[in-house]
Amino acid sequence: MKLSRRDFSMKTIKGVGAMAAMGVLPLSNLACQSQGRKLGVALVGLGSYSTYQLAPALQDTQHCYLAGVVTGTPAKEKEWADKYGIPSANIYNYENFDAIADNKDIDVVYVVLPNAMHADFCIRAAKAGKHVICEKPMAISVKECDDIINACNEAGVKLGVGYRLQSEPYTNEIKRVVREKPFGEVRYVSAEAGYRSRSNPDQWRLDKALAGGGALLNMGVYAIQGSIYGTGQNPISVSAQEFSTDPEYFKDTDESISAQFKFPNGATGNIFTSHSANVNRHYSAFDNGWLELNPANNYGPLSGRLSTGEEIKFPHESQQKLQMDDFALHVLEGAPNKAPGEMGKRDMIICEAIYQSIAEGGRTIDLDLGRMGIVD
């Protein structure tokens, strides 16, 4: 049975009401569910992703809205205030950011800064008592992921990672097919995510101090995720190789990486990510059939097919809208967190293992991810 978002919300509210009536939850919790409150979101960093994806999506979200911004560019303060009607009291810079703690209009801080700045501002947002969405990759090291998770736990705030694909229907259809096994067990998965990056040699993504890595930390995390939800399992080992066709341009960060996974059920997988090739495909092979998305991980519309000849087709919606509404429902109603901090940490463990394998000539690195409890 498929439920609409509205039906799911109503069932959740009724369930909460029943638990409140039984004394399992305080009645104040039920009151919060039925008020229809929208969460105020502040975007930290007004680069292209905030400008062209997140801010427009926040004009259509049902459970949250654009309440504030944080920018280091004074000219953008007036530009965004005029365009979106943001009051001056809700506009911050990087120096006065911590004052956001006193702003009741802002419930959620979405950190959309270069990767090396994620940990600092996520931790500061948590200490300010704000729920946190951290754009992917969660951080540039496993330690920083732990620091973010610990800060949010200590502050009692929710934490999500900006994995937009976790909320869109094509990805969730892959999960359904893998889970329900209409074609039997998964035996092989291939996930590719990359694009050709030659337009701006001064971009921060080519600066390791800001990005922490190259194609792997940018697009490779989507391929890693695809290999996991395309098998329904965390990998148990990985080996990897790095390729460069333009070492002068990519002198500081990885250009292209291929990695091979083994999974607990004996399945194998391959990922490829690149800043020099346009790749955008997912393929899961089963005992008696296959599933393919192509394209698989851009902003959409996506497209898919099954070995039966059936198309995989869903109406196109903004992935960012779905993602932010899902996180808002997690905060407001206790709905599942589609991309918790532990998922971001798991992916960074895999990224570090991939870099380790490359540094050691492609040696197979064992992974122990089952203990994390995140398989999605």
Catalytic residue numbers read 136, 222
Residue pair 221/145 in contact (Cβ under 8 Å)? The answer is: no
218, 211, 224: which is closest to 259 by C-alpha?
Answer: 224
Strand, coil or helix: 201 = coil
Dihedral-angle region of residue 130 (phi above 0 means left; psi in -120 to 50 means alpha; beta otherwise): beta
At position 106, the amino acid (one-letter code) is I
Helix (H), strand (E) at residue 326: helix 319-333
Strand partners, 41: 66, 108
Distance from C-alpha of 52 to C-alpha of 197, rounded to nearest angstrom: 18
At position 5, the amino acid (one-letter code) is R
DSSP secondary structure, 156-180, as one string: T--EEE--GGGGSHHHHHHHHHHHH
